[in-house]
Structure 1
Amino acid sequence: MPSFKCRDIGMDCNFETKAPNENDLLVKIASHAKEKHNMAPIPQDVMNKVKKAIKK
């Protein structure tokens, strides 16, 4: 099950999430980024970091 932690990309944030697949995980990450980090959409450089930080 893929998982992600904001701290893994250098954010001072305790957000952690899991999902059954990477697409569902990215939806959760995008929602969090919009609500807590005012990132809508997520900038491409940050998205690249997010994708590299996803644990499978």
Structure 2
Amino acid sequence: MTRGDLTDGEWELIEPYLPLGASGPIPDLRSYFNAVMWRFRTGSPWRDVPNSYGSW
């Protein structure tokens, strides 16, 4: 977990409100959510999202 990522408690509050994928739960949804939050927090382009969040 990096600075600014959701804590376990925050994730437990948010996860029930996120949609499911067409074939069920989205794998690693928390990492994707943290990447989106990082991108909007920094204002950087998608290509600059750190590799720790996965491929842009």
Q: Which has the larger radius of gyration?
A: 2
Q: Tell me the TM-score normalised to structure 2 length.
A: 0.38
Which structure exhibits the higher relative contact order, with contacts defined as CA atoms closer than 8 Å and separated by 6 or more residues? 1
Q: Tell me the TM-score normalised to structure 1 length.
A: 0.38
Of Structure 1 and Structure 2, the greater strand share is in 1
